[in-house]
Amino acid sequence: MFSKIFPKIHAEGYKFLVIAGIITIVLYSFSDFFGLIGFVLTIWVYYFFRDPERYSINDESFLVSPADGLITDISERTGPLELQLENTSFTKVSIFMNVFNCHVNRTPCSGVIENILYHPGKFLNATLDKSSDENERNYYKIKTNDGEQILVVQIAGLIAWRIICEVKKEDILKQGERIGMIRFGSRVDIYFNNKKLLAKVGQNVVAGESLIAEG
């Protein structure tokens, strides 16, 4: 129960929590009102960097969500040019993370990371479809135990400061394991094919738990 109310936070959050705490103390020296504002800010920083445990289905016939947030788009498109998959058709599911969502990202499937590719870019609103091709982003190409290719793309948003990758090429992952996070509002895309779509636009999903596809 305690861990649900006060989950652990991601390592990236500690320095921001300290900074917010110092700001709160300084604001309190001016007035209780400003101090209260600082306290609320500190609580939000803690909440933003929360890293709760998640429990995946652990079934290789399903893909789970790589991110918390709102599904804003589902479309059929070719794979990313950067990964030389421009001639392969995929279903792409886009998940937008607002500043109140947990921003720790997870692998949608078990498998081995075949490639990780960082691409610098712009910081457009992450809800825009063109942000998939124009924004700063980080690609993960995962080969499942069945030999299928699953792509996860972290996309920086309008106020994102940093994409964090916590895995490396040739790492073997279990479904739902952490792969990284994005600091502040952003988006995660998942690409797959030959699977039955289970999710829908407008659905709120939970990283590592919500089912995205089956097959």
Residues marked active site are found at 186
Q: What are phi and psi of 59, to 5 degrees?
A: -130, 120
CA distance 5 to 54: 14
162 pairs with which residues across the strands? 183
What is the amino acid identity at position 135?
A: N
Contact by Cβ (8 Å): 177, 24: no
Q: SS3 of 24, please?
A: helix
Return the DSSP state at 107. Answer: -
